[in-house]
Structure 1
Amino acid sequence: MADPLAPDRHRQRDFFVADILDAVPKDDLGTMEHPMFALRAGDRRVRRYEHKDSSIEIQPGAKGLATQNDKDILIYCISQLVAAINRGREPSRVVQLTAYDLLVSTNRRTDGDAYMRLQEALDRLRGTTVSTNIRTGDTRTREGFGLIDSYRIVERDGQERMAALEITLSQWLYRAVESMQVLSISRDYFRLRKPLERRLYEISRKHCGAQPSWRASLATLHLKSGSSASLKRFRQHIIEAAESDHLPDYRMQYDRAQDLVTIYSRSPKGALKQIQKSLQL
């Protein structure tokens, strides 16, 4: 049977890139909680999402909506900013990086096609417009913004591929980083092949964390995922994911009778809490 996880493409790393990878991958709470990214390429629908007192409208740019895989770029930028803050450095909304480090850190190939796909992802992030009232930091306002404000290719290599980049994050996302509204995620997140699997991991990390478990109706999980599949087809995706059982840090169980999904933490801390809870019953 084929490995459900993509291979670790960069096990042998030079010293400099290994140091870059010491930055633990971080994801922001806002986009972990709410479905801001398309789960398939070429999606050009205007998407609207409401949950409790939060609302989002996401409009595609000329090249379509930014995808869950495009989000790798934001995760990399957030991770670098948090690492800088932890080292006592002054963060900046303009993130300077090298394309090669980003590709290696997010477990992507480093051939010519990978650089082309990276530029396409940047264009989708720049073109996708979000209007939302979701709070970041201490601020809740109705805002419209691109997922990134801009990007600039600072330097190209000998094959005219982007080498050095500057990415300007939206003020909305930058506030989330400044206020440390972020969570560490597994490096194996970047080995998940399917966008829906990545989204399910984010939801699991946000809602279950290191607790023993978290439960939601299939309909709620469908809404949170941002999937455009029918509920019937989404149910089948969940059953397949639960049977495959390869989400990093978490496992899923589907209850057909109640149409509920329970997510369990694989961590010893989560298991210990589950034992303590059972002893109190």
Structure 2
Amino acid sequence: MEHPLFALKAGDRRVRTYERNGLVVTVKPGSDGCATIHDKDLWIYCISQLVEAKNRGRPITSTVRFTAYDFLRSTNRSTGGLGYRRIVGMLARLRGTGIETNIETNGQRERRGFGLIDSWRIVEKSPTDDCVTAIEVDLPHWLFRSVATMRVLTLSRDYFKLRKPLERRIYELARKHCGLQPKWRVSVTILYAKSGSTATLKEFRRQIKELSNINLLPDYQISLDTERDHVTFFAKKEER
């Protein structure tokens, strides 16, 4: 969640590079475009299925099998025909988006490349009926390892009710950095860089101000200090 791997705008075909504390992350879209933050719902859903199975003491593998209906219902999507058809595009973008990073260990530098998912398979009723009955997704080793060792953050179920991409990204950052702490303070410029927003910094400030006014984020409340140009996230269950 530290780097904005998922595009905030549909159709984003830019090669995006982010650098912080010596770590460089490059996101390269595939032929179907870059995976978006709404495509990420499928990623999150797969992770949640593994976490639930692990919590119940069941063995897990990097292959996740599920029904399209359960995915659509769990992520607050329409279960009509359009919802089913959109799943194919989500899978294609997740499979096509590539991530490259540089890692330094023991004085040696490595460059690594990986995808958001390794492969996918959809089972349909028949050659003449494109109704999706089952989906299989193979998660990459690095992601499966994080789940297996429980190094993943849980998200509020209300996350899927957030429709605007920036709202989702800001919530993710608050969840990561604030977590169970009473608050997290960050400068607007750093938050802007972490968000992956394609808006101008001026427009981003306006959007954050709007978010702080409507106060719709699950779990956290936003306070924008325009004089110091920083944002503070407060856990809603805590007294300010």
Per the normalisation by structure 1, the TM-score is 0.80
1:45 lines up with 2:17 in the alignment? no
Aligned match of 1:187: 157
Q: Distance in 2 between matches of 1:168 and 1:156?
A: 21
User: Which deviations, in whole Å up to 9, do the C-alpha atoms of 1:19-73 show, x marking residues without a partner?
Assistant: xxxxxxxxxxxxx222100001000000001111322100001111000000000
Match of 1:167 among 117, 137, 154: 137
Residue 153 of structure 2 aligns to a residue in which SS? strand
Deviates more, 1:84-93 or 1:217-226: 84-93
Deviation at 1:176, TM superposition (A): 1.2
Q: Distance in 2 between matches of 1:80 and 1:202?
A: 19
Deviation at 1:178, TM superposition (A): 1.4
Q: Distance in 1 between matches of 2:120 and 2:148?
A: 20
Q: Distance in 1 between matches of 2:85 and 2:15?
A: 26
Q: Distance in 2 between matches of 1:168 and 1:266?
A: 36
Q: Distance in 1 between matches of 2:196 and 2:181?
A: 24
Match of 1:202 among 172, 187, 206: 172
Equivalent position amino acid for 1:181 in 2 = R
Aligned match of 2:37: 68
1:95 lines up with 2:61 in the alignment? no
Aligned match of 2:146: 176
Q: Distance in 1 between matches of 2:103 and 2:194?
A: 15
User: Which deviations, in whole Å up to 9, do the C-alpha atoms of 1:123-158 show, x marking residues without a partner?
Assistant: 1001101112479xxxx9642112111100134378
Q: Distance in 2 between matches of 1:224 and 1:154?
A: 37
Deviation at 1:159, TM superposition (A): 4.1
Equivalent position amino acid for 1:87 in 2 = R
Aligned identity (percent) is: 54
Could you tell me which runs of 5 or more consecutive residues in structure 1 were left unpaired when the two chains were aligned. Answer: 1-31, 275-281
Q: Could you say if the C-alpha distance between residues 108 and 235 of structure 1 is closer, same or farther in structure 2, counting changes exceeding 3 Å? A: same
Contact 1:156–1:164 (CA<8 Å) still a contact in 2? no
Match of 1:129 among 98, 105, 122: 98
Q: Distance in 1 between matches of 2:234 and 2:14?
A: 33
Residue 160 of structure 1 aligns to a residue in which SS? strand
Residue 33 of structure 1 aligns to a residue in which SS? coil
Equivalent position amino acid for 2:194 in 1 = K
Deviation at 1:165, TM superposition (A): 0.8
Deviation at 1:116, TM superposition (A): 1.3
Q: Could you say if the C-alpha distance between residues 169 and 141 of structure 1 is closer, same or farther in structure 2, counting changes exceeding 3 Å? A: farther
User: Which deviations, in whole Å up to 9, do the C-alpha atoms of 1:101-127 show, x marking residues without a partner?
Assistant: 001010100111111111111110011
1:55 lines up with 2:24 in the alignment? yes
Q: Distance in 1 between matches of 2:125 and 2:169?
A: 33
Q: Which is bigger in relative contact order (C-alpha 8 A, separation at least 6)? A: 1
1:242 lines up with 2:212 in the alignment? yes
Contact 1:57–1:132 (CA<8 Å) still a contact in 2? yes
Per the normalisation by structure 2, the TM-score is 0.93
Aligned length in residues = 235
User: Which deviations, in whole Å up to 9, do the C-alpha atoms of 1:64-103 show, x marking residues without a partner?
Assistant: 1000000000110000001111111211111111111001
What value does the CA root-mean-square deviation take over the aligned residues?
A: 1.8
* Larger strand percent: 2
Contact 1:96–1:167 (CA<8 Å) still a contact in 2? yes
Residue 130 of structure 2 aligns to a residue in which SS? coil
Q: Distance in 1 between matches of 2:41 and 2:155?
A: 12
Q: Could you say if the C-alpha distance between residues 183 and 255 of structure 1 is closer, same or farther in structure 2, counting changes exceeding 3 Å? A: same
Residue 172 of structure 1 aligns to a residue in which SS? helix
Q: Could you say if the C-alpha distance between residues 141 and 100 of structure 1 is closer, same or farther in structure 2, counting changes exceeding 3 Å? A: farther
